[in-house]
Structure 1
Amino acid sequence: MSGSFRLSRRDWLRLAAVGAVGVSQSGWLQALAANTAGAPKRHKSVILLWLNGGPATIDLWDLKPGHENGGPFKEIATAVPGVRIGEHLPKVAKQMKEMAIVRSMATKEGDHGRARFVSLTGYAPQGAIQFPAIGSLVSHEFADPDTDLPGFVSIGGRANGGEAAIGGGFLGPRFSPLVVGGGRGRPGPAMGADDLKVPDLSLPADVSAASQTKRLDLLSGLERDFESGRGSPVADTLKAATDRAVRLMRPEAAAAFRLEDEKDTLRDTYGRTTFGQGCLLARRLVERGVSFVEVTLDGWDTHQNNFTSVERLCGNLDAAFSALLTDLKERGLLQDTLVVCQGEFGRTPKINGNTGRDHWPASWAAVMAGGGIKGGQVVGKTTKDGMAVDGDPTRTPDLIATVVKAVGIDPMKQNMSNVSRPIRIADPAAKPIKEIL
């Protein structure tokens, strides 16, 4: 029975009138009750497709044909008349009715580390304040203590990156991401068998369930003794990690990560790469109620041979992004799942001497799709040479405020920080993008 099955009051009265309620002996009501109890609580979710390194959005979403800054790539039509994007995203172009391209992004940070921090938290680093990631903030708002899956999962990108420290922040370790895969979202065609595996979800062969229970009871007692009167952040972190590991070992939770349960044809459609399979895993997770999933595609720091690299990367992005939107839509999940595609900044409109593009935060683009936003449109524009935003710029806090508002969270809500100062989810000066909402 589908998890989306619902009975209205009118339906219930109609069934009662024909005696359906009286045949509970058939097991129908019990099955319905069990199904309802097992279905995740529905709230909106976010999937962030993180293009690590800063993509040349002038070659993806905002081309400048005919200008010397435009490079060799051509525009192609999309499913929305008048909206055109890069030629190496033909599958994504067919999904344009679900998408909104924000071509007015303008930010200040041109350093990878600082730009990632601002993009993932909405704030510039400020002394001792431990700002949480946007994924932690969203999972905190939708936290369900009864679920076995974490609210925030990061796929393929945090093993070696500077963003590894951007997690639960002052919200605590419980809201840090579960990191899956250390392949850095590599763009090559092959995918390691263990790239997206969560290790140690099964008991060792020589440990029975009863022995495991006794060990966990002993550990719990030791933790309580150690925590008594201390309130140590280290103890809290260890306890949160242990609790998460135990919950993930339960069969229902562990099953979420079994990509082999999917049809081969669907896995092929996403692409047999870490990023492609990561996007498929993201769908499986939000389907089970996970609030925020980020999937990383690395390799966009194209100071050299930009056009060769972008064409290669687009083959991966095009297959996975389009398959994700189609899959979510066919399963009735797209309306409740906001997909965001961005990096930390864009790249220079001017092509350098190595046929590359350098860091450029002054004018770039981000994409949003699903989640109930108004798709089929372009918001903002850049000048003919791509060097600046033509009109009002969209800042990182504006984008974050738009994301959280789209999923039903008040961007001005405050959380108490680690320095006993209330911090809003989005910067107080942030302005959600009204055209999208």
Structure 2
Amino acid sequence: PGYLGNEFSALTAGKPTFGIPYSVRGISLEDGLTVDRYKSQRRLLDDLDTAFEGFEKLDAPVRGLDRFGAQAHDIISAPSTRKAFDLEQEKPSESKRFGKHEFGQSLLLAARLIEAGVHFVTIRLRPAEFDFDTHTDNFSRLRKLLPPFDKGLAGLLDRLKERGLFESTAIMVAGEFGRTPQINGQGGRDHWARAMFALMAGGDIRGGQVIGETDAKAAEPKNESVSPEDLAASFFRNIGIDPKMEFQANVGRPITLVR
């Protein structure tokens, strides 16, 4: 991902569905594969790594993939981590609190992963289920989209508070851009780069406040604007990372987190 190298690639999970057993490619042990058999296969892979160690030292992407594979091995061989993906352990009432849809169950899975000690979790809204790209019928679509979105997000925030994890978890909800102030001919709103919003919660964020302001039409920032760099810097600080930190990219180039 970006400048970081393969070892920092995300583990992409499939879509969780309410009432259906959830499995993750590369983690769920399927087709009769046991943990002991998997460990045996891992030892064979280690032997191959040793045999080709000289080639690995010459190739940074190969080294990155090897470290990524080692992380996957740690996940598979640790029952506590694999257990976090088992949504069937939740009471039906708890699953319903997040919503009987992919987004709600993804938020429930995120909560379980955080409870298991996973440091970073990203949830992506899939257009097939939650399509906020409302170029047509904006208002009628939002009346259907917003309630389940609100319910799922509230479920996540409430659960983290109940488990004592809210103050140690930084949460950010954001899209890619805003929507046009003017309604188009199809009753929708198009893409708009001049103004948008994001929600931040948890950690050291002081809740109950609005930072920044737009004009009456939500078209332009009013007074001093808050930039994407400002948002990124705030998020990094909230998770204990200096936004001005400089690191060496895998090509030897110095990179500053936030300029």
Normalising by structure 2, we get a TM-score of: 0.89
Any idea what SS the aligned residue of 1:367 has?
A: strand
Greater strand content: 1
Q: Which runs of 5+ in 2 are unaligned?
A: none
Percent of aligned pairs sharing the same letter: 37
> In structure 2, which of residues 155, 160, 170 is the aligned counterpart of residue 328 of structure 1?
160
Cross-structure match for 2:29: 202
Separation in structure 2 between the aligned mates of residue 413 and residue 392 of structure 1, nearest angstrom: 25
Any idea what SS the aligned residue of 2:44 has?
A: helix
Separation in structure 1 between the aligned mates of residue 189 and residue 61 of structure 2, nearest angstrom: 43
How far is 1:170 from its partner? Answer: 2.4
Cross-structure match for 1:349: 181
Any idea what SS the aligned residue of 1:383 has?
A: coil
Any idea what SS the aligned residue of 2:121 has?
A: strand
Larger Cα-atom Rg: 1
Separation in structure 1 between the aligned mates of residue 207 and residue 37 of structure 2, nearest angstrom: 53
Structure 1 residue 248 corresponds to structure 2 residue 248: no
Separation in structure 2 between the aligned mates of residue 258 and residue 213 of structure 1, nearest angstrom: 21
User: Number of aligned pairs?
Assistant: 252
What CA deviation, in whole Å up to 9, does each residue of 1:298-329 have, x standing for no partner?
A: 31111111112222211221110111111111
The change in CA–CA distance for 1:285 and 1:211 in structure 2 (over 3 A counts) is closer
Summarize the alignment of residues 66-215 of structure 1 with structure 2, pairs less than 5 Å apart: 167=1, 169-182=2-15, 191=18, 193=20, 197-200=23-26, 201-202=28-29, 204-205=31-32, 210-215=36-41
Greater helix content: 2
Letter of the structure 1 residue corresponding to residue 20 of structure 2: A
Indicate the RMSD between aligned Cα atoms, in angstroms: 2.0
Q: Which runs of 5+ in 1 are unaligned?
A: 1-166, 184-189, 428-437
Letter of the structure 1 residue corresponding to residue 71 of structure 2: R
Structure 1 residue 262 corresponds to structure 2 residue 90: yes
The change in CA–CA distance for 1:348 and 1:198 in structure 2 (over 3 A counts) is same
> In structure 1, which of residues 275, 291, 294 is the aligned counterpart of residue 119 of structure 2?
291
Separation in structure 1 between the aligned mates of residue 99 and residue 8 of structure 2, nearest angstrom: 30
Summarize the alignment of residues 11-50 of structure 1 with structure 2, pairs less than 5 Å apart: none
What CA deviation, in whole Å up to 9, does each residue of 1:108-148 have, x standing for no partner?
A: xxxxxxxxxxxxxxxxxxxxxxxxxxxxxxxxxxxxxxxxx
Any idea what SS the aligned residue of 1:295 has?
A: coil
What CA deviation, in whole Å up to 9, does each residue of 1:377-397 have, x standing for no partner?
A: 111111012110101111111
Cross-structure match for 1:272: 100
Question: Does the 8 Å CA contact 2:236/2:242 hold for their aligned counterparts?
Answer: yes
Structure 1 residue 363 corresponds to structure 2 residue 195: yes
Question: Does the 8 Å CA contact 1:372/1:406 hold for their aligned counterparts?
Answer: yes
The change in CA–CA distance for 1:257 and 1:182 in structure 2 (over 3 A counts) is closer
Question: Does the 8 Å CA contact 1:227/1:235 hold for their aligned counterparts?
Answer: no
